[in-house]
Structure 1
Amino acid sequence: MGAHISARERQPSGSRSPGAGPGDRLVVLDGVRMVAALSVLFYHYAALQSAWGTPPSTLFPLAGRFAVYGWLGVEIFFLVSGFVICMSAWGRTLGDFAVSRVSRLFPAYWAAVAFTATVLFTWPEVRAMGPFSNVVVNLSMLQHGIGIPDLDDAYWTLFAELKFYALFALVVARGVTYRNCVLFCGIWTLGSAVAPAIDNSVLSFFAVSSCSPYFIGGIAFHLMRRFGPNAVLWGIVGVQFLLAQNYVHGRMISNLGPGLALKTPAWPAHTVIALGFLAMAAIALGVFDGMRWRWLPYAGALTYPLYLIHMMAGLTIIHHFRTTVAPVPLALSVTALMLVLAWVIHRLVERPLGRLLGAGLRRGIEDIRAGTPRRAPLPAIPAQASAPDAEQISAGR
């Protein structure tokens, strides 16, 4: 979701990038992210009943068979995020890492919260906006942690991403090296494996066991790309793949509900996850380094704002017009609208505000490093406007 693909992949000494010269942009990751975003949108628009008021399988008998697996785009997002965060954090300080994450995540997110709240306030059909205080808390992106409902159900993934960033910040603080990344993968794997069996709320909170295999797998794939594959990295990836497969049943129930999950074959979900791991392995090994499709970076730029705005706002718009527009044209029209709005948010909010926010935060980080904030001196107070002294106060003047 919020993972940023660095325009230039910086290569440390002794590293390698198979098939591509140092600094080449991995545009294939943009394509993977767009496919993942559209699959999640497809799932929400063609598999959820809340927008249509009738089972979508009756409206989309063929497409619905595939749409029920669209939620797997989130898992692919997490794989890409592990790869990209490890890549973009290389050589950065902890402050630089924090600035890059905040300036990347929040501008588009703030715009999405405002847009979604406006739609839900205008048409409280699928869901009401809720208390305004909840909307304000949602702007922090921390609502999930303090028990405030997400304004949009898709936002749950952002909190999982924040946990990943918080954990990986420990690696950044120590220095992003091959050794530290491998140790991090091993420790997080162990924590995620034992968390379900141990009654420890802190461990369970940060382990995010159903998501961690994808983040860790992505990190290992990036290490393969930088330093070449070896038995240790393949072992890490293999363990993550097995753990990811273990959580498929639970994820199907949480996304489809117990009834529909029991009726829906699980093997396609297992297959999609396998294909996701294979695709990332191919990227790590340089199979797609020759891809130079110029439109892919533009598509990749849309994925984050598209993911943020498409769900509750899109479902509300579908619900509002479902009786006047045929299902297929309506779904396609709303998808096109969301793509256009995603581009508007990217160009008018995400890019300019991200630059301003990043610049301001970098100045703040420099002040912290210097040990004191820089600020203009306060203007001198004119003598006649000075505050009364203690004697004047006691005299009643």
Structure 2
Amino acid sequence: MPRQTRKRLAWLDALRGLAALTVVFEHALAPLLPEVRLPVKAVFDPGWFGVMAFFLVSGYIVPASLERRASLRAFWISRLLRLYPLFGVAAAAMALLALLGWDDPHIWWRTRPVPLVLGHLTMLQNLLGMPNLLNVLWTLSYEMAFYLLLTAMFTLGVNRRSITGTLGFTAAALLGAGTLPVTLLSAGGSGRMLTVALVMTTLMMAGLAAAIRGSGAVRHAGAILIGLTVLTLLAVNQSYPGPWRGLLILATMFAGTALYRAEQRELSWRQAGWVALVPLAGIWLARADAGTQTATVAAWLTFAAGLALRHQKMPRVLTWLGLVSYSVYLLHALLLESVEWFWPEPLAVPLNLRIAALACVVALLLGLSALTWRFVEAPAQRLAKRLVARTPPDRKIEIGQPDAAQGRGSSSKADQTS
């Protein structure tokens, strides 16, 4: 990546680094500092803060990378090689921990291995009513849903209607809270779960193939198929963290895109102000949970501060953490699973030893993340660039224009993918 490009995007890396650290802190509380876990989460949920910051960053930059290249092929090559290599390493490491007896996976991994493997291969396991192999993998299901919806919108030429997406998912979260079913399709036996996974995977793969390789009506039909499949899963088949939170996550990502468009002068800041309804809806929906409310507000304020300071020099430690944040996010769960196996009763361990263990975990995590970035993530991204350079252009697609209600502005291009 050109140095100037990295400098312009340093504020996004800094936000990722901060988000990764807060998620690590959240997950370290139970195995190492359980006495403070509930008091902390009662006033501020660090995990929710971290993932909401991550989703805002994804919403801000990922759609821009698709529009910059204007190629679904290039977009999916980049996305798959961004996510799957390290995903595979983390999954293999988790399987090794299970074989060693250091972790006890959900019983369905013994009784329903085929549907669970298929669900994880699509990264949509959380929308298919399946337990995650690693507890942190649930966020990747919403990332993948966002990518699929972007693909459908780009193909149909409505990809710039970010405010429409923001308000639509916000309204769905508000109206669906307490009424939308959970795992309606996948609930039942192993056979039913496998059938749903096979059907949904087939529909999405067929839709993607049509959108990428088809033309005219076939391409549009594929986009509609993708959109309907993903929206169905979001509406009736989510598991953790539940329907309204999942829908609000999609609203958050589309809000991040709207803020990007305002920053690039495709929208006015006044028009982009509609995104304020997203955190307001989150505060209302979490009215019985002060910790989630404060985390939501803090994530939005932190993102706003980063956006305001985007031209300033960012702390190098945070930008480096942002660079390796995906490794930090996936690998910390493995280390903490090991700690929990060694110390099943943390309150029986002296506090000073637990604090020392936390410091060791963080140091080891940063070292491992540096290694996986160098030997897994960076080579995969270099491969993606080579493959994209040899990728033939898509058939002509009319790139969508902003909503009439959003106004028109100068089109601009993102510098890189996230």
Tell me if the contact between 2:49 and 2:299 (Cα under 8 Å) persists in the aligned partners.
no
Match of residue 317 from structure 1: 339
SS at match of 1:151: coil
Is 1:346–2:373 an aligned residue pair?
Answer: yes
Match of residue 373 from structure 1: none
**Cα displacement (A) at 1:151:** 0.8
- Decide which of 8, 14, 18 is 1:35's aligned counterpart: 18
CA distance in 1, matches of 2:355, 2:317: 26
Tell me if the contact between 1:94 and 1:169 (Cα under 8 Å) persists in the aligned partners.
yes
CA distance in 2, matches of 1:7, 1:194: 46
Match of residue 374 from structure 1: none
CA distance in 1, matches of 2:13, 2:59: 14
SS at match of 2:312: coil
- Decide which of 266, 277, 282 is 1:244's aligned counterpart: 282
Is 1:141–2:180 an aligned residue pair?
Answer: no
- Decide which of 260, 264, 288 is 1:222's aligned counterpart: 260
Is 1:152–2:114 an aligned residue pair?
Answer: no
One-letter amino acid of the structure 1 residue matched with residue 272 of structure 2: L
**Cα displacement (A) at 1:232:** 1.6
CA distance in 2, matches of 1:110, 1:249: 38
Which TM-score applies when normalising by structure 2? 0.67
Tell me if the contact between 2:27 and 2:333 (Cα under 8 Å) persists in the aligned partners.
yes
> 1:346-373: per-residue Cα shift (whole Å, max 9, x none)?
110111133335544775x539869xxx
After TM superposition, list the pairs within 5 Å mapping 1:233-382 onto structure 2. 233-235=272-274, 237-248=275-286, 266=290, 268-284=291-307, 286-321=308-343, 326-357=353-384, 359-360=386-387, 363=390, 366=392
> 1:72-126: per-residue Cα shift (whole Å, max 9, x none)?
2112211121112133233222222222211111111111111222123213346
- Decide which of 81, 105, 108 is 1:103's aligned counterpart: 81
Q: Radius of gyration: which is bigger?
A: 1
Q: Which has the higher helix share?
A: 2
- Decide which of 80, 92, 104 is 2:57's aligned counterpart: 80
Structure-2 change in CA distance of 1:125 and 1:345 (3 Å): same
Structure-2 change in CA distance of 1:8 and 1:144 (3 Å): farther
Tell me if the contact between 1:42 and 1:67 (Cα under 8 Å) persists in the aligned partners.
no
> 1:293-326: per-residue Cα shift (whole Å, max 9, x none)?
4444321121111111212442223431567882
After TM superposition, list the pairs within 5 Å mapping 1:41-56 onto structure 2. 41-46=24-29, 48=30, 51=31, 56=34
Larger deviation: 63-72 or 335-344?
Answer: 63-72
**Cα displacement (A) at 1:242:** 1.2
SS at match of 1:334: helix
- Decide which of 205, 221, 225 is 2:233's aligned counterpart: 205
Match of residue 197 from structure 2: none
**Cα displacement (A) at 1:63:** 7.1
Larger deviation: 340-349 or 94-103?
Answer: 94-103
Structure-2 change in CA distance of 1:26 and 1:175 (3 Å): farther
Is 1:25–2:48 an aligned residue pair?
Answer: no
Structure-2 change in CA distance of 1:343 and 1:67 (3 Å): farther
Tell me if the contact between 2:248 and 2:278 (Cα under 8 Å) persists in the aligned partners.
no
Tell me if the contact between 2:17 and 2:320 (Cα under 8 Å) persists in the aligned partners.
no
Is 1:184–2:186 an aligned residue pair?
Answer: no
SS at match of 2:248: coil
One-letter amino acid of the structure 2 residue matched with residue 348 of structure 1: F
Identity of aligned residues (%): 26
Tell me if the contact between 2:162 and 2:255 (Cα under 8 Å) persists in the aligned partners.
no
Tell me if the contact between 2:283 and 2:293 (Cα under 8 Å) persists in the aligned partners.
yes
Match of residue 257 from structure 1: none
Tell me if the contact between 1:221 and 1:280 (Cα under 8 Å) persists in the aligned partners.
no
SS at match of 1:108: helix
CA distance in 2, matches of 1:97, 1:352: 17
Tell me if the contact between 1:44 and 1:311 (Cα under 8 Å) persists in the aligned partners.
yes
Tell me if the contact between 2:18 and 2:322 (Cα under 8 Å) persists in the aligned partners.
no
Structure 1 gap ranges (5+): 10-22, 253-265, 371-397
One-letter amino acid of the structure 1 residue matched with residue 165 of structure 2: F
Which TM-score applies when normalising by structure 1? 0.70
Provide the aligned length of Structure 1 versus Structure 2. Answer: 328
One-letter amino acid of the structure 2 residue matched with residue 88 of structure 1: S
CA distance in 2, matches of 1:277, 1:108: 28
